[in-house]
Amino acid sequence: MTANRNANALRLHERTGFEPEAAAALLSLVADYIEDGEILPAETRAWFVKAVRVMTSVEPGANGEPVEHARAAALATELGIVKRPGPPSKFVSRRDVRRLVVAYGDEVSETKLADGVAEAYGVGLSTARKHVKAAKRAIVEGNEWFAAIMAANGFDTLIEPRGGGPIS
Instruction: Dump pLDDT digits (tens) for 137-146.
Output: 888 888 888 8
Residues 28 and 49 reside in one and the same domain: yes
Residues 123 and 54 reside in one and the same domain: no
Residues 77 and 3 reside in one and the same domain: yes
Is the C-alpha dihedral spanning 36, 39, 42, 46 positive or negative?
positive
Distance CA 51, CA 66 (A): 19
Residues 65 and 116 reside in one and the same domain: no
Q: How many domains does the chain have?
A: 2
Residues 7 and 77 reside in one and the same domain: yes
> Among residues 77, 56, 51, 81, which one has the least CA distance to residue 67?
56
| Residue 92 DSSP SS3 | coil
Residues 71 and 138 reside in one and the same domain: no
Per-residue pLDDT reduced to its tens digit, 60-112: 766 677 888 888 888 888 888 877 666 556 777 788 888 888 888 778 888 88
Residues 106 and 133 reside in one and the same domain: yes
Domain termination site, one of 83, 107, 132: 83
* Residue 167 is assigned to a structural domain of this protein: no
pTM summary value:
0.51
Residue 159: CB atoms within 10 A of its CB come to: 7
